[in-house]
Amino acid sequence: MTDLMTRPEIPAVTPRRVKLLKTEVSRRTAWILRAASVLVPLAAWWALSVSGLVEDTFLPSPPEVWTAGLEMAESGDLPADVLASLGRIGAGFGLAVLIAVPLGFAMGTLGWAQPLLEPVIGILRYLPASAFIPLLIIWVGIGEASKIALLVLGVVFFNTLMTADAVRQVPTRLLEVSAILGAGRGRVAARVVFPYALPGILDAMRVNAAAAWNFVVVAELIAATSGLGYRITRAQRFLQTDRIFAILIVIGLIGLTIDITLRLLRARVGRWAT
């Protein structure tokens, strides 16, 4: 009893102390940091390439990469390859989303769907999609179908589980209030659950869009006649590392554009979400 009486009290955590756990910077500082995150690596790359420590064959300088990119753009090869890759991304990733969102929504709302689907999806998501390439070639050939199927396999399982997690985040109290007000299950799903889960679903799409780009490049490395992955393979045969770097930068910029677009869409449709 004495120990309990003499034990020092734990100081209460005030809102001011909690705020110190998360620091914020001004908008100007944030933009400076964003610029530094790009300019500092670029300067380091430029300095290393002109220092002579690494041969140009292995590490071309930024001006050489810029020139190579302009040459591919002027020849028409780069725009054609970008359109080919974007078409495969649109078809494969779009199909994966069309499959994953309904399945994930069902897993998050229907009591029987999760125990039925989660075990098999949990197993399939650990199978490397690239390991299916030989089977896809045997099943559907070496055309566009196999490339799109690889994209679907690489994205759909992760997107399904992440969608289900987003749907499960809907507060139970919100569902109870909707039921008390007389809303049926279909109305609750359409007017309450889906709008609440939509920002999380878009976040899942942002994450898996990057994976889709990885798989489209892998798909185009094999039996392709167009696309950015095909162009990388062609440049590798002739040790054109400047072209490889230029293509990688293009892929990064396209990916960044897609990410920003989905982020803005999320902010628009889910302004209430933190």
Number of structural domains found in the chain: 1
For residue 45, tell me if it sits in a domain. no
29 occurs within a structural domain: no
Residue 203 lies in a domain: yes
Residue 264 lies in a domain: yes
Does 1 fall in a domain?
A: no
The answer as to whether 32 is a domain residue is no
pLDDT tens string, the chain, 274 residues long: the values are: 444 445 555 455 455 555 555 677 888 888 899 899 989 999 999 999 888 888 888 899 999 999 999 999 999 999 999 999 999 999 999 999 999 999 999 999 888 998 999 999 989 999 988 889 889 989 988 889 999 999 999 999 999 999 999 999 888 777 767 767 666 777 777 778 888 899 999 999 999 998 898 898 888 877 788 899 999 989 988 889 999 999 999 999 999 999 999 989 888 887 655 5
Domain that holds residue 194: 60-269
Decide if 213 is inside a domain: yes
User: Which three-class secondary structure string do you get for the chain?
Assistant: CHHHHHCCCCCCCCHHHHHHCCCCCCHHHHHHHHHHHHHHHHHHHHHHHHCCCCCCCCCCCHHHHHHHHHHHHHHCHHHHHHHHHHHHHHHHHHHHHHHHHHHHHHHHHCCCHHHHHHHHHHHHCCCCHHHHHHHHHHHHCCCHHHHHHHHHHHHHHHHHHHHHHHHHCCCHHHHHHHHHCCCCHHHHHHHHHHHHHHHHHHHHHHHHHHHHHHHHHHHHCCCCCCCHHHHHHHHHHCCCHHHHHHHHHHHHHHHHHHHHHHHHHHHHHCCCCC
- Structural domain contains residue 41: no
Q: What is the CATH number of the domain that holds 137?
A: 1.10.3720.10
